[in-house]
Amino acid sequence: MRPDQIRALNQGELNKQLEEAHQELFNLRFRLATRQMANNAEVTKVKKKIARMETILRERELAAQ
């Protein structure tokens, strides 16, 4: 997701997307450990996606103060 798409989500949707991304990262790490993964770059993509979401959550938290 692009940052502008993430910013368009409300708080509940963003938290749900973040939880799904963490679950996806867990599954990718499991597949990586068992050598069932063809593309190792997926792990990096999901980590960046999580970082974007957490950054936007933090922006909202600071804006609310």
Domains: count for the chain: 1
Statement: residue 46 has pLDDT above 90:
yes
> For residue 1, what pLDDT band results from cuts at 50, 70 and 90?
confident
Measured in whole angstroms, the distance separating CA 49 from the mean position of its chain's CA atoms is 4
pLDDT score of 37: 86
Q: Which residues contact 1 (CB under 8 A, 6 or more apart)?
A: 17, 49, 52, 53
| Token pair in block for residue 20 | 């799904």
Percent of the chain surpassing pLDDT 90? 86
* Digit-coded pLDDT (tens) for 4-24: 999 999 999 999 999 999 999
CATH number for the domain including 38? Answer: 1.10.287.310
The range of the structural domain enclosing residue 58 comes to: 3-64
